[in-house]
Amino acid sequence: MELNNIIETENSFDADAKAVSNLQELENVRLKYLGKKGLIADIMTKFREVPAEQKREFGQKVNALKSKIENAIEEIKLDLAKKQIEEEIKNTKMFDYSLPVDTNTGSLNPRTIIQKQVVDIFKDMGFVIEDGCEIETEYNNFESVNVPKNHPARDMQDTFWLSNGQLLKTQTSAAQNRILRDYGPVCKVIFPGRVFRNEALDARHENTFFQLEGVVVGKNITVANLIYFEKAMLKALFKKDIEVRLRPGFFPFTEPSYEMDARCPFCSGRGCHTCGNSGWIELCPCGMIHPNVLKMGGINPDEYNGFAFGLGFDRLVMIRTNLDDIRYLNSNNLKVMSQFKTKM
């Protein structure tokens, strides 16, 4: 008699399963058969009444039925979910991504615009574009670029330290060691990214800003090569030849080190608001890569040399737009940002 009850329950489930049309109905079926007060539980309460010689067979058939119901419910659930997704896709209004964008509804940050322009210029000059990590090790950020512990240069960079001993990178130079190791002794690579300094905010200083670092390594690389690439970038960016000059500088990862200035493209050196009436705009730190940095990057400095340079996108934006407060660049104020679209 009890075995017949199992067969009847199985036939009943098959009929109920075929009639299911949505997830709520499926849940009702699940509770009917697998719930604490469901039909499977009810059958098990009658196990004591089964003759001893039939208990083994009875138990196996109940377990088999229970497994069948569980598997069937999962399959129905997946099938219903698939049909639901297909129905949603069918009823979704399609969007043509090739249509022109309505640029009046928002604005790219001027920093984003100028970064793309600069990156495209270096791409055209054969540079590879790489990304850097925003969270770095102390070794990559300092030691690998010739800034050992207790070096005075560390005092110039107020660092955001993390509880695990890592840090928010203070300079894009933190990627130099990885780049040199990945690309070897002959390479032209730029790596733009966001850097962090624990500084007080004012019109000229931010604790989050964006830079670009570039390295060129090979045989017989000279300062003349450095000047050529920088002038080519400036010419493409400002659409005219820009005169540059080098002043002595100090950076632990370059030797010799320079500060590169550009003749003000707005007043041609006569003096204006943008250049502070000096006729020159401080553009980028640069220099020949220090032999120690090459060694730590796995490159023999007796056979290869190269140069490195940095460029601040925030500074370029302020130069190009006459923006007088760097804090606007992180403000997300569309009213402020949109006015720079025509100036870039």
CATH number at residue 206: 3.30.930.10
Question: Per the structure block, which two tokens stand in for 193?
Answer: 């990214």
Query: Is 210 part of a structural domain of the chain?
Result: yes
Q: How far apart are CA 273 and CA 266, in angstroms?
A: 9
Q: Which residue has the higher pLDDT, 38 or 289?
A: 289
Q: Are residues 42 and 132 in the same domain?
A: no
Using DSSP, state whether 113 is helix, strand or coil: helix
Q: Are residues 185 and 333 in the same domain?
A: yes
pLDDT at 175 over 70: yes
Q: Are residues 60 and 154 in the same domain?
A: no
Domain count, the chain: 2
Residue 222 is predicted with a pLDDT of 94
Residue 192 is predicted with a pLDDT of 93
Using the 3D structure, point to which of 62, 91, 120 is the last residue of a domain. Answer: 91
Give the other-Cβ count within 10 Å of 186's Cβ.
13
Q: Are residues 186 and 213 in the same domain?
A: yes
Would you place residue 234 in the very low, low, confident or very high pLDDT band (cuts 50, 70, 90)?
Answer: confident
Buried b (16+ CB within 10 A) or exposed e, 257-274: bbbbbbbbbeeeeeeeeb
Question: Residue for token digits 């017989």?
Answer: 220
Query: Is 54 part of a structural domain of the chain?
Result: yes
Residue 294 is predicted with a pLDDT of 97
Query: Is 101 part of a structural domain of the chain?
Result: no
Region 194-201 average pLDDT: 78
pLDDT at 1 over 60: no
Region 247-255 average pLDDT: 91
Specify the range with the lowest mean pLDDT, choosing from 32-36, 52-56, 258-262, 288-292: 52-56
Query: Is 321 part of a structural domain of the chain?
Result: yes
Q: Are residues 163 and 222 in the same domain?
A: yes
Output the CA torsion sign for 70, 75, 76, 80: positive
Q: Quick check: 278 and 247 in contact, CB under 8 A? A: no
Question: Per the structure block, which two tokens stand in for 189?
Answer: 């690579």
Q: Quick check: 175 and 193 in contact, CB under 8 A? A: yes
Region 285-301 average pLDDT: 95
Would you place residue 205 in the very low, low, confident or very high pLDDT band (cuts 50, 70, 90)?
Answer: low
Q: Are residues 14 and 125 in the same domain?
A: no
Q: Are residues 196 and 304 in the same domain?
A: yes
Would you place residue 320 in the very low, low, confident or very high pLDDT band (cuts 50, 70, 90)?
Answer: confident
Q: Are residues 307 and 238 in the same domain?
A: yes
Query: Is 160 part of a structural domain of the chain?
Result: yes
- Mean pLDDT (the chain) is 85
Q: Are residues 86 and 112 in the same domain?
A: no
Residue 157 is predicted with a pLDDT of 66
Domain that holds residue 287: 108-343
Q: Is the peptide bond before 192 cis (omega within 30 degrees of 0)?
A: no
Would you place residue 52 in the very low, low, confident or very high pLDDT band (cuts 50, 70, 90)?
Answer: confident
Residue 61 is predicted with a pLDDT of 85
Would you place residue 317 in the very low, low, confident or very high pLDDT band (cuts 50, 70, 90)?
Answer: confident
Query: Is 156 part of a structural domain of the chain?
Result: yes
Q: Quick check: 187 and 128 in contact, CB under 8 A? A: yes
Residue 155 is predicted with a pLDDT of 67
Using the 3D structure, point to which of 22, 56, 91 is the last residue of a domain. Answer: 91
Query: Is 162 part of a structural domain of the chain?
Result: yes
How far from 15 is each of 11, 12, 18, 160, 281, CA to CA, in Å?
A: 6, 5, 5, 65, 82
Q: Are residues 45 and 171 in the same domain?
A: no
Q: Are residues 156 and 284 in the same domain?
A: yes
Distance of CA 38 to the CA centre of its chain: 52
Q: Are residues 175 and 215 in the same domain?
A: yes
Using the 3D structure, point to which of 33, 66, 91 is the last residue of a domain. Answer: 91
Query: Is 50 part of a structural domain of the chain?
Result: yes
